[in-house]
Amino acid sequence: MLIIGLLLWGAAIGVTLVTGNVITLPTIVLIGSFLVPVTGVVWYLDHDPSPALSPRRITAAFIIAGTLGVLSASLLEYYLVGTGALANVEVGLIEELVKTLLVVAVAWGIHSFHTRDGMVLGAAVGFGFAALESSGYALASLFVVQGHRLFLSLDSVVVTELVRGILAPFGHGMWTAIVGGAIFAAARGNRVRYIWILAAYLLVSILHGAFDSINGIIGYVVVSAVGVVPLVRLWLRAVEIAPAADRNSFVG
């Protein structure tokens, strides 16, 4: 799916360059923004999905929760985020809080909580959020002002989507997967361990704020690497506590 999508995206870029037809620009934006997130969700649905997470629930997490997340975060940021040095931190706190609440919402009705399921559900919410947000950034990058004139820059769109596509698995998808795993892990047993959820939320909010504050590839790599550590620990913990009968599904 990823390879076919890349070929279609490249074809759309080539046709636009040859014809100069602006009608094909949305095709470039949509394919480029959704390709990596959708590939991640489809990969899960094709690889022994959990009986607790139906395709309908995963689709709702991606489309409905992702859309509500972008809209809610936009409203809250409009009213609450300032212009000072802490603006990026505030954005991180708001967006991660919105996605955390949406993970809880889409998990409503699940009665057995496995860390792996929480990570998958969180990743679906995060990928939906990332796809829509990336399409917005791509559209914004299309318009370039030089002097007092406004130009449409296809190069800016392509570069923006390449960068955000490569980083997508290490941004919203990863951050919300960490929170989702923490929520499901905290819900196991007789009582909910809210401190785990709070710790995960603060961690991903800090990572998010740091990511938004950086304007360099090295910085992006460092922040992404830091985020991978708790992600891997959660995944390994999910495998360790899984019943022996379920372990084959984790490595299958």
Rg (CA), the chain: 19
Q: What is the pLDDT along the chain (252 residues), one digit of tens a residue?
A: 999 999 999 999 999 999 999 999 999 999 999 999 999 999 998 887 788 899 999 999 999 999 999 999 999 999 999 888 789 999 999 999 999 999 999 999 998 889 999 999 999 999 999 999 999 999 999 998 877 788 889 999 999 999 989 888 899 999 999 999 999 999 887 778 899 999 999 999 999 999 988 877 788 888 888 999 999 988 887 776 665 434 443 333
Give dist(CA 191, CA 242) in Å, integer. Answer: 19
Minimal CA–CA distance to 228: which of 167, 184, 183?
167
pTM for this one?
0.90
Give dist(CA 201, CA 67) in Å, integer. Answer: 20
Give dist(CA 30, CA 43) in Å, integer. Answer: 19
And the tokens for 139? 């559209």
Reduced to 3 DSSP states, what percent helix, strand and coil does the chain have, rounded to the nearest 5?
80, 5, 15
Cα angle 130, 161, 1 (rounded to 5 degrees) comes to: 75
And the tokens for 156? 């800016």
